[in-house]
């Protein structure tokens, strides 16, 4: 695939912290257009929402109960980005904070601090933790990785009440949702970091994150041949 024909994917994240995401997209043949608080790019076939800091609790109707100081500009820009791509029916992949933002954008809420509120620990300091997930049968993650598989983990917040139309499709042993989707729409959020389990950063104690990025590119290209277990995907497109 030449540079001219590479499918463009908009990437939103923190300045200086998008290299791994962009490297993963380039490795599967996509062209990432990355930026901090970018305006929606109509030339992009999909949106990748990266990890990062906490979302302002007022965005989901709560006082601060252990959230880290938010980036208000990023919250505003990414919520707008999500709505533009979502209304257009374009594929969206949210990773870590990106999954949480998808949930908040659709009216859901978050557990603000797992150690404080639930006595659960999904963050191991500087190094990622590793733990197993259980995937919903028929979901993308079940299709890619099977019913039970191991992933990395580095987050102190989690999805609580689900946003409109969303469902949980993978769970940690602690019972918290680690992935969400919206049946019939090209939308997926994962709490783990596939960009740190793929290509040059592939690790032996987790599944290969490259499979998830390849799936996302296929969805962005409109390829439904691999998604027989997801009835309704692209059903609103002629």
Report the Cα 172 to chain-centroid distance in Å. 16
pLDDT for residue 185 = 94
- Cβ neighbours, 10 Å, residue 67: 18
For helices 97-105 and 72-87, angle between their N-to-C axes, nearest 10 degrees: 70
pLDDT band at 116 (very low <50, low <70, confident <90, very high): low
pLDDT tens digits, residue range 63-81?
A: 988 788 999 999 999 999 9
Q: Name the residues annotated as catalytic.
A: 96, 193, 195
Closest CA to 75 of 108, 49, 95, 93: 49
Q: What is the mean pLDDT of the chain?
A: 89
CB-neighbour burial class of residue 131 (10 A; exposed 0-12, middle 13-18, buried 19+): middle
- CA–CA separation, 195 vs 226, rounded Å? 21
pLDDT for residue 106 = 98
pLDDT tens digits, residue range 10-55?
A: 999 999 999 999 999 999 999 999 999 999 999 999 999 999 999 9
pLDDT for residue 153 = 86
Q: What is the arithmetic mean of pLDDT over 84-106?
A: 97
The rounded percent of the chain whose pLDDT value lies above 90 is 75
pLDDT band at 199 (very low <50, low <70, confident <90, very high): very high
Characterise 23 by phi-psi region: left (phi > 0), alpha (psi -120 to 50), beta (else): alpha
Question: b vs e for 93-112, b when ≥16 Cβ sit within 10 Å of the residue's Cβ?
Answer: bbbbbbbbbbbbbbebbbbb
**Domains defined along the chain, listed by start:** 3-220 (3.40.50.880)
- CA–CA separation, 142 vs 128, rounded Å? 22
- Which value, to the nearest 10 degrees, does the dihedral of the CA atoms of residues 33, 36, 41, 45 take? 50
pLDDT tens digits, residue range 133-173?
A: 999 999 999 999 999 999 998 768 899 999 999 999 999 98
What sign for the dihedral angle of Cα 50, 137, 107, 67? negative
Q: What is the arithmetic mean of pLDDT over 108-129?
A: 67
pLDDT tens digits, residue range 9-22?
A: 999 999 999 999 99
E strand spans, the chain: 8-12, 31-35, 46-49, 92-95, 110-111, 129-135, 148-153, 158-159, 167-172, 177-181, 187-190
Q: At which residue do the structure tokens 């029916």 appear?
A: 89
Closest CA to 51 of 101, 110, 107: 101
Q: At which residue do the structure tokens 């980036």 appear?
A: 71
Q: Is residue 65 within 8 Å of residue 117, measured between CB atoms?
A: yes
Q: What is the arithmetic mean of pLDDT over 197-211?
A: 94
Tell me: pLDDT of 227 over 70: no
pLDDT for residue 196 = 94
* Half-sphere exposure in the Cβ direction for 38 (13 Å, CA): 23
Tell me: pLDDT of 122 over 80: no
pLDDT for residue 56 = 95
pLDDT for residue 174 = 84
Q: Which residue has the higher pLDDT, 114 or 23?
A: 23
């Amino acid at each position: 695939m030449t540079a001219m024909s590479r499918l463009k994917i908009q990437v939103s994240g923190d300045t200086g912290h998008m290299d791994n995401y962009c490297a993963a997209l380039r490795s599967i043949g996509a062209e990432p257009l990355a930026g901090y608080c970018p305006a929606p790019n109509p030339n992009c076939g999909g949106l990748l929402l990266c990890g990062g800091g906490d979302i302002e609790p007022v965005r989901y109707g709560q006082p601060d109960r252990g959230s880290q100081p938010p980036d208000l500009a990023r919250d505003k820009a990414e919520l707008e980005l999500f709505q533009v791509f979502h209304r257009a029916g374009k594929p969206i992949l949210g990773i870590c904070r990106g999954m949480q933002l998808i949930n908040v954008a659709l009216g859901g809420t978050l557990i603000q601090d797992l150690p404080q509120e639930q006595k659960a620990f999904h963050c191991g300091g500087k190094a990622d933790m590793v733990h197993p997930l259980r995937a919903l049968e028929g979901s993308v993650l079940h299709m890619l990785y099977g019913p039970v598989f191991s992933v990395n983990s580095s987050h102190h917040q989690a999805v609580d009440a689900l946003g409109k139309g969303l469902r949980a499709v993978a769970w940690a042993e602690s019972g918290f949702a680690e992935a969400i989707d919206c049946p019939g729409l090209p939308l997926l959020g994962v709490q783990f970091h596939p960009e740190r389990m793929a290509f040059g950063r592939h690790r032996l104690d987790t599944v290969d994150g490259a499979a998830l990025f390849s799936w996302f590119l296929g969805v962005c290209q409109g390829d439904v041949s691999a998604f027989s277990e997801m009835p309704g995907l692209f059903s609103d497109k002629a």
